[in-house]
């Protein structure tokens, strides 16, 4: 299958079609999602929470992101692989953003990066694009700014939509090929999507964006944590895995595993 590229996503926006992004952090899930036809695999810094178990996304390092990105790239034949610029790895200057993005592509084999930030980061985007890095701008609720934003709060309510639209346009003008909006009221996301030429991706932003994204452990019901309102659970993997592991445990304690079919008798 030929690789999903920036122009395919642009085409989707122009033709009123949709595409799906899903997080991935390891080779096997990446293979499954890629074979299922998911267009974009996001190596999110949510790996901080979903893989490593940190309390926020802030502590994850570039080196950790590179390991997960490499694994996902190894599992993907068709999907575009996008890696997050982690907290502290790009804010200081456009040059720092280029350094980190280049590492994620050169060492992690990402095809593009995603950066949290407002219009104040337009120069960072411009520098990365100039270096040959396709960039997704992440606006709305940006988890790396959790402490500055006062927690997990919906962004772009009321008059704030105008500022958010200006951010989206500035990032687009700087060369971002896509804008991702997190936890934004649906009418605001619709207004911003319509103002942009480039495609949009939403999470907790309603149905008007070109694409949607979810964290895979949330949508497959693997996590024990409470999931936000915008997560639809398509499976209950936590129960499936837990029951299977308990069955194995009981078999071992009872001496019923391994039975004859699982042993070498000579």
Q: Which residues bind ligand KIV (CB under 6 A)?
A: 23, 42, 44-46, 84, 180, 182, 203, 213, 215
84 labeled part of a ligand binding site: yes
> Out of Na ion, ligand KIV, none, which partner does residue 34 contact, by CB within 5 to 8 A per kind?
none
Report, in Å, the least distance between residue 56 CB and ligand KIV: 11
Q: Which of 17, 31, 107, 182 is catalytic?
A: 182
C-alpha to C-alpha distance for 152 and 140, rounded to whole angstroms: 11
Whether 182 is catalytic is: yes
> Out of Na ion, ligand KIV, none, which partner does residue 73 contact, by CB within 5 to 8 A per kind?
none
Nearer to Na ion, 114 or 191 (CB): 114
Nearer to ligand KIV, 53 or 255 (CB): 53
Tell me the pairing of strands 112-116 and 40-43: unpaired
Nearer to ligand KIV, 158 or 224 (CB): 224
Q: How many CB atoms within 10 Å of residue 247?
A: 11
8 A C-beta contact, residue 68 and residue 45 = no
Q: Contact positions toward Na ion, by CB under 5 A?
A: 44-45, 84
Nearer to ligand KIV, 34 or 218 (CB): 218
46 labeled part of a ligand binding site: yes
Any long-range contacts for 162-167 (C-beta under 8 Å, 24+ apart)?
A: 164/139, 164/140, 164/188, 164/192, 165/191, 165/192, 165/195, 166/119, 167/118, 167/119, 167/137, 167/139
Report, in Å, the least distance between residue 145 CB and ligand KIV: 12
C-alpha to C-alpha distance for 30 and 255, rounded to whole angstroms: 36
C-alpha to C-alpha distance for 46 and 153, rounded to whole angstroms: 17
Binding residue ranges for 3-methyl-2-oxobutanoate: 45-46, 84, 114
Residues tagged active-site: 182
């Amino acid at each position: 299958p030929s690789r999903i590229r920036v122009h395919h996503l642009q085409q989707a926006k122009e033709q009123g079609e949709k595409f799906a992004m899903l997080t991935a952090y390891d080779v096997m899930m990446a293979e499954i999602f890629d074979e299922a036809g998911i267009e974009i695999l996001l190596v999110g810094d949510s790996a901080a929470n979903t893989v490593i178990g940190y309390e926020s996304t802030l502590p994850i390092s570039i080196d950790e992101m590179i390991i997960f990105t490499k694994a996902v790239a190894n599992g993907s034949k068709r999907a575009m692989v996008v890696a997050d610029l982690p907290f502290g790895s790009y804010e200081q200057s456009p040059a720092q953003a280029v350094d980190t993005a280049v590492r994620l592509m050169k060492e992690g084999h990402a095809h593009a990066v995603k950066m949290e930030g407002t219009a104040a980061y337009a120069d960072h985007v411009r520098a990365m694009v100039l270096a040959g890095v396709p960039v997704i701008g992440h606006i709305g609720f940006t988890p790396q700014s959790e402490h500055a934003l006062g927690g997990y709060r919906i962004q772009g309510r009321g008059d704030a939509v105008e500022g958010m639209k200006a951010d989206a346009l500035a990032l687009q003008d700087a060369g971002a090929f896509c804008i991702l909006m997190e936890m934004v009221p649906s009418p605001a996301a619709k207004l911003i999507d319509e103002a942009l030429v480039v495609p949009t991706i939403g999470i907790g932003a309603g149905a008007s964006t070109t694409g949607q994204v979810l964290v895979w452990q949330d949508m497959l019901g693997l996590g024990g944590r409470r999931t936000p309102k915008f997560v639809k659970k398509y499976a209950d993997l936590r129960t499936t895995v837990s029951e299977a592991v308990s069955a194995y445990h009981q078999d071992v304690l009872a001496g019923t595993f391994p039975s004859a079919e699982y042993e070498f008798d000579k």
